[in-house]
Amino acid sequence: MGEYYKDLNDYLSALEKAGKLFRVNKKVSKESEITPLARLQYRGLPEKERRGFLFENVTDAKGRKYNIKVATGIYASSMEIYALGLKSEAPTKEAIQKKWENALIHPVPTEHIDKGPVQDIVIEGNKLDVDGNGLEALPVPVELPGFSGQIRTSTQVITKSPKTGIQNMGNYSAHVFGKRKLLWEINRGNQGIIHWREWKDLGKPMPAAVVVGGVPSYFYTASAKIPYGVDELTVAGGFSGEPVKTVRGKTVDIEVPADADIVIEGYISTEYMEPGNAFGEYTGYMATDVWLRPVFDVTAVTMRKNATFVHIMSQFPPSESSKVRQISSENVYYKFLKFDAKVPGIIDVAWHEMSQAQWCVIKIKKVNKAHPWQVLNLAAGYDSRWGKFFIVVDEDIDIRNIDSVIWAMSWRVQPARDMRIITGKMPGLDPSAYSPGASHEEKEFPGGVGSSGVLIDATIKYPYPPTSLPRKDFMEKARDTWKELGLPELNLVEPWYGYELGYWPDEFRQDAEDILKGNHYEIGERLSKLREKV
Quote the CA–CA distance of 246 and 70 in Å, as a whole number. Answer: 24
Q: Give residue-wise pLDDT tens across range 320-333.
A: 888 888 998 999 99
User: Helix/strand/coil (H, E, C) string of 458-517?
Assistant: ECCCCCECCCCCCEHHHHHHHHHHHHHCCCCCCCCCCCCCECCEECCCHHHHHHHHHHHC
Q: Is the dihedral of CA 7, 12, 13, 17 positive or negative?
A: positive
Quote the CA–CA distance of 398 and 408 in Å, as a whole number. Answer: 10
pLDDT at 315: 83
Q: Give the whole-number percent of the chain exceeding pLDDT 90.
A: 72
Edge-to-edge strand ranges of the sheet holding 419-425:
346-351, 359-364, 389-393, 451-458, 419-425
Q: How far is CA 407 from the centre of its chain?
A: 25
pTM of the prediction?
0.86
pLDDT at 307: 96
Quote the CA–CA distance of 491 and 46 in Å, as a whole number. Answer: 14
Residue 32 contacts by C-beta under 8 Å, 6 or more apart in sequence?
61, 142, 145
Write the CA distances from 21 to 17, 52, 62, 71, 409, integer angstroms.
8, 5, 28, 10, 40
| Confidence check: pLDDT of 371 > 60 | yes
Cβ pair 187, 176 in contact under 8 A: no
pLDDT at 192: 87
For range 351-376, the mean pLDDT: 94
249 vs 384, more confident: 249
Quote the CA–CA distance of 159 and 196 in Å, as a whole number. Answer: 8
| Confidence check: pLDDT of 522 > 80 | yes
Cβ pair 364, 372 in contact under 8 A: yes
Most confident of 291-295, 422-426, 431-435: 422-426
Q: Give residue-wise pLDDT tens across range 9-49.
A: 999 999 999 999 999 999 999 999 999 899 999 999 999 99
For range 246-250, the mean pLDDT: 98
CA dihedral 373, 379, 383, 386 (to 10 degrees): -100
Q: Give residue-wise pLDDT tens across range 75-94.
A: 999 999 999 999 998 888 89
Lowest average pLDDT, out of 91-105, 110-124, 140-154, goes to 140-154
Model confidence band, residue 526 (pLDDT cutoffs 50, 70, 90): confident
| Confidence check: pLDDT of 1 > 70 | no
DSSP per residue, 84-146:
HHHT-SSSSHHHHHHHHHHHHHS----EE-S--GGGSEEEEGGGGGSTTSGGGGS-PPPSSTT
Summary mean pLDDT of the chain: 92
Cβ pair 214, 220 in contact under 8 A: no
Quote the CA–CA distance of 508 and 491 in Å, as a whole number. Answer: 31
Q: Which domains does the chain have, with CATH numbers?
A: 8-311 (2.30.110.10), 341-458 (3.40.1670.10), 472-528 (no CATH)
Lowest average pLDDT, out of 188-192, 258-262, 375-379, 411-415, goes to 188-192
Most confident of 278-287, 307-316, 390-399: 390-399
Cβ pair 246, 111 in contact under 8 A: yes
Q: Is the dihedral of CA 212, 216, 221, 224 positive or negative?
A: positive
| Confidence check: pLDDT of 236 > 80 | yes
pLDDT at 2: 61
Q: Residue 341 gets which letter from DSSP?
A: S
Model confidence band, residue 426 (pLDDT cutoffs 50, 70, 90): confident
What amino acid occupies position 119?
Q
| CA nearest to 397, candidates 388, 406, 389, 405 | 405
Q: Give residue-wise pLDDT tens across range 266-288.
A: 999 999 999 888 877 777 787 77
| Confidence check: pLDDT of 442 > 90 | no
How many other CB atoms are found less than 10 A from the CB of residue 284?
Answer: 14
